[in-house]
Structure 1
Amino acid sequence: MFINLNQNKNLKLFKIISEVAARNNQSVYIVGGYVRDLLMKRKASTDIDFVTEQSGIELARNVALEIDPELKVSVFKTYGTAMVRYKDLELEFVGARKESYNENSRKPDVEGGTLEDDQKRRDFTINAMAISLNKDNFGELIDPFNGVEDLENKILRTPLEPAQTYSDDPLRMMRAIRFASTLQFTIEDNSLAAIKQEAERIKIVSMERVMVEFNKIMLSGKPSTGLKLMEETGLMKLIIPELIELKGVEEVEGQTHKDNFYHTLEVVDNISGNTDDLWLRWSALLHDIGKAPTKKFVEGTGWTFHGHEFLGSKMVKSLFQRLKLPLGNDMKYVQKMVKLSSRPIALITDDASDSALRRLLFDAGENLEDLFTLCKADITTKNARKQEKFIRNFEYVAVKIKEVEEKDQVRNFQPPISGEEIMVMFDLKPGREIGILKEKVKEAILEGEILNDHEEAKKFVIVEAEKLGLKI
């Protein structure tokens, strides 16, 4: 089978690489994801991998010289690879190799090999196809493991025995689930069984690498596909056990609660239809994380999860630390979303006070729209009438908040009177009184006692300062 590369936008580049390889008596093939995506007619990747049965480093240097003598070649001698950045492309050249692994590391011992050896070491049949750039068979597809058939059937299968494949490099288990989620493919039965069998091996992989794959699952069109597979294979219990704690339904005195794990997956899918923001999707994933430790059955009331949002927001930090996720603004954003996740629901009444609306505006600030996106995603009822009512109520609250915002201007609140002005007014040095007075101004504005206005705030400060024994 031959692939027609004549219409490929990189044809000129491929011809140059073919010529350079021929001049230096080297073989050369395109391999991996670029071939897969080409056959699937997906958007062309900007990463292209090339294999030669001779020196990948030498080929990279010769190709770079041919294209532009100024091009930099990044060399990784340990693995016999080299990378060239050209226009918007990353071209990686590698010498075909065999790999062998020891039990405690996913870093292989490498030795030179043939194209076939190189294809055998690939993770899945759909990534083990190669296109020849050699002059005698330019464009020929070399597919020893029937990757084309697996592409057509949407199957993920390993070229070699799956348990060995996953044991050798356990990150491939996460990659299998990631491809299942991003491509909506099915993991072949033997392969799925092998992931369950080898799940514990994920512990030898750095958490940073695991999270790269996990975040790709989170950014897929339907993340629940991957998240369910992680639960089914036992990987979720090893990586984010806090989510597994949400599983199951208990019954006391005939009263049950929903399965918060599967509810969470629905919320993640719902929000993924409305945002590509990774950390807003993470907020959906963790919004109920505090429910397992706060679950309680109260006589006469039923199941309660009192304070789960507050506890959940505190759990976010330790979870992010363990998962080696960013601990700066991204983490703080997720904490904030989790903490506020139930607040708008309490305002879905006709008598919600302006004070309550102002406080939500103040606490959510620039993230208010994201919070409403999360709250709408949290509506997982299958009753169409109930769902419509909930959404209508949220829209009603959004209108009320907009009215309050226009009137009181408390989003991204800045005090109408500064600490420096208070110090000048009362001839004070920095101290606790300044903080007390600023807090009183904020509370008075949020409660609607004074307008968010400099003159009103100034008069209010004078009155409150007297109570503290301060005089102008």
Structure 2
Amino acid sequence: VGSPSARFAEDALRMFRACRFVAQLGFVPEAGILPAIKAEALRVKGLSLFRVKTELHKLLMAPYAGRGMDLMVQSGLAGMPCRIKKEGNYESVPILPELLDLVGVPQNPRFHPFDVWGHIWHALNHSDGSLTLGWAILLHDVGKGREGVRGIRPDGMPSDHGHDKVGKAMAEGILRRLGESEDLVNRVAFLVGNHMHFGPSRFLPDAALWRWLRKEARSGTFRRTKDLQEAFRELGNLCLADMAATTASAESQALARHFANQLFRMAGAMPVHTADLAISGRDLIAAGIPQKVLKRLLPLLLSRVQDRSLSNTSEVLQRAAAIWWEKEKGKGHYPHTSA
């Protein structure tokens, strides 16, 4: 209403709201909006991190999140600091200056029709509306073009070997700087760190996929099978959004979607905790196995199911437990066998 610069001068948060409205509604901003934001962007330094992050979250969960985030980057808002009050003093908090480094960074045209930033914001338009996936897409290629990562292939094309590992560390730093929860930080770090593993894994035998899932199940990152499965669902969605902003054919994207569903199903069959087993300590006690040995027995059963040497069914685990207990008694380690 009236002069954009006057409205932004009244409340600097309106500049972030402009970006959020673009993300939610898919509108192209009026011609005077972008120059007005550029002219007033320094006012952002007086905003609280809480207010900025509230708008940022809404933007990342919006259907046209890529368009809104592109306005944040092109206007310079992403490179501005806001502030947080700690122990009575204000501290400056950079918002997302790392994104500005990605503008104009070239990629191999064989696979990418956009520069690094163009690829990211186009991929972000294919998010599923969750905050976790929004952050993961936004940061999945943040390590590209960096010193020690950017290289040149023998054919003269650019490459970014290792950008997933560098990006994982950068994502952790960015999200902690912005005060995101540790659960969100850890999940986004997992997604950014594994997004390059998805594509090659499509051509691996099932045994190799089970080894990957087992490694993650034993990593300590996940509490239960449902957490592991949710992480792999998000990983599949991240990689599908990633492919949608490349030169990948519709056929390749369909095959990737099929693989994502397969990996999701397999993750649902990989136990992470003994509570994910089809048998409980109470079941084993009822079968005559003493309670005092369960701390040894249940982790052994879990490990064997993770190794795929036992299926996760009550009947199979009951039989394996009985055999193990008979062997233990035979060794003479447990002369008193009452529960």
Shift of 1:233: 0.9
Answering whether residue 306 of structure 2 is matched by residue 446 of structure 1, we say: yes
Answering whether residue 105 of structure 2 is matched by residue 249 of structure 1, we say: yes
For the structure 1 residues 174 and 461, does the alpha-carbon distance in structure 2 shift closer, same or farther, using more than 3 Å as the test?
Answer: farther
Q: Note the alpha carbon deviations across 1:287-342, whole angstroms, 9 max, x for none.
A: 223334462326659655444334433333332232233x1433333233323333
Q: Determine the structure 2 residue equivalent to 1:376.
A: 240
Q: Note the alpha carbon deviations across 1:137-167, whole angstroms, 9 max, x for none.
A: xxxxxxxxxxxxxxxxxxxxxx24x434423
The 5 A counterparts of 1:34-73 are none
Q: Note the alpha carbon deviations across 1:370-396, whole angstroms, 9 max, x for none.
A: 322222111135657x23223224404
User: Which of 134, 138, 146 is the equivalent residue of 1:281?
Assistant: 134
Shift of 1:260: 2.1
> Identical aligned pairs, as a percentage?
25
User: Which of 41, 50, 58 is the equivalent residue of 1:216?
Assistant: 58
Q: Determine the structure 2 residue equivalent to 1:345.
A: 199
Partner of 1:248, secondary structure, is coil
Larger Rg: 1
Question: How far apart in 2 are the matches of 1:457 and 1:371?
Answer: 34
For the structure 1 residues 397 and 361, does the alpha-carbon distance in structure 2 shift closer, same or farther, using more than 3 Å as the test?
Answer: farther
Question: How far apart in 2 are the matches of 1:311 and 1:382?
Answer: 21
Question: How far apart in 1 are the matches of 2:153 and 2:255?
Answer: 33
Q: Determine the structure 1 residue equivalent to 2:90.
A: none
Q: Determine the structure 1 residue equivalent to 2:251.
A: 388
Are 1:263 and 1:380, in contact at CA under 8 Å, matched by a contact in 2? no
For residue 309 of structure 1, what is the amino acid of its counterpart?
D
Q: Note the alpha carbon deviations across 1:256-277, whole angstroms, 9 max, x for none.
A: 9762211111211012xxx232
Are 1:296 and 1:303, in contact at CA under 8 Å, matched by a contact in 2? yes
For the structure 1 residues 300 and 425, does the alpha-carbon distance in structure 2 shift closer, same or farther, using more than 3 Å as the test?
Answer: farther
Q: Determine the structure 2 residue equivalent to 1:230.
A: 72
Are 1:223 and 1:268, in contact at CA under 8 Å, matched by a contact in 2? yes
Q: Determine the structure 1 residue equivalent to 2:117.
A: 261
Q: Determine the structure 2 residue equivalent to 1:296.
A: 150
Q: Determine the structure 2 residue equivalent to 1:312.
A: 167
Shift of 1:177: 2.4
Q: Determine the structure 1 residue equivalent to 2:8.
A: 166
Which has more strand, going by share of residues? Answer: 1
For the structure 1 residues 350 and 460, does the alpha-carbon distance in structure 2 shift closer, same or farther, using more than 3 Å as the test?
Answer: farther
Partner of 2:151, secondary structure, is strand
Structure 1 stretches of at least 4 aligned residues deviating more than 6 Å after TM superposition:
254-257, 459-462
Question: How far apart in 2 are the matches of 1:264 and 1:174?
Answer: 19
Q: Determine the structure 2 residue equivalent to 1:414.
A: 274
Q: Which moved more, 1:216-225 or 1:305-314?
A: 305-314
Question: How far apart in 2 are the matches of 1:405 and 1:180?
Answer: 37
Q: Determine the structure 1 residue equivalent to 2:292.
A: 424
For the structure 1 residues 260 and 163, does the alpha-carbon distance in structure 2 shift closer, same or farther, using more than 3 Å as the test?
Answer: same
Q: Note the alpha carbon deviations across 1:356-375, whole angstroms, 9 max, x for none.
A: 36438846333332322222
Q: Return the TM-score normalized by structure 2.
A: 0.68
For residue 335 of structure 1, what is the amino acid of its counterpart?
A
Question: How far apart in 1 are the matches of 2:35 and 2:267?
Answer: 55
Q: Determine the structure 1 residue equivalent to 2:231.
A: 367
Are 1:284 and 1:374, in contact at CA under 8 Å, matched by a contact in 2? yes
Q: Note the alpha carbon deviations across 1:14-45, whole angstroms, 9 max, x for none.
A: xxxxxxxxxxxxxxxxxxxxxxxxxxxxxxxx
Partner of 2:102, secondary structure, is coil
Partner of 1:187, secondary structure, is coil
For the structure 1 residues 167 and 298, does the alpha-carbon distance in structure 2 shift closer, same or farther, using more than 3 Å as the test?
Answer: same
Are 1:180 and 1:187, in contact at CA under 8 Å, matched by a contact in 2? yes
Q: Note the alpha carbon deviations across 1:373-425, whole angstroms, 9 max, x for none.
A: 222111135657x23223224404634763x568xx31554365999x99933
Gaps in structure 2 of 5+ consecutive residues = 81-94, 223-227, 282-288, 335-339
Shift of 1:209: 0.8
Q: Return the TM-score normalized by structure 1.
A: 0.51
Are 2:102 and 2:117, in contact at CA under 8 Å, matched by a contact in 1? yes
Are 2:233 and 2:260, in contact at CA under 8 Å, matched by a contact in 1? no
Gaps in structure 1 of 5+ consecutive residues = 1-124, 126-158, 429-433
Question: How far apart in 2 are the matches of 1:235 and 1:189?
Answer: 17
Question: How far apart in 2 are the matches of 1:414 and 1:284?
Answer: 33
Question: How far apart in 2 are the matches of 1:167 and 1:371?
Answer: 41
For residue 330 of structure 1, what is the amino acid of its counterpart?
L
Question: How far apart in 1 are the matches of 2:166 and 2:302?
Answer: 26
Partner of 1:182, secondary structure, is helix
Q: Determine the structure 1 residue equivalent to 2:44.
A: 202
Residues paired across the two proteins, number: 294
Question: How far apart in 2 are the matches of 1:168 and 1:298?
Answer: 48
**Higher RCO structure, 1 or 2 (CA under 8 Å, sep 6+):** 2
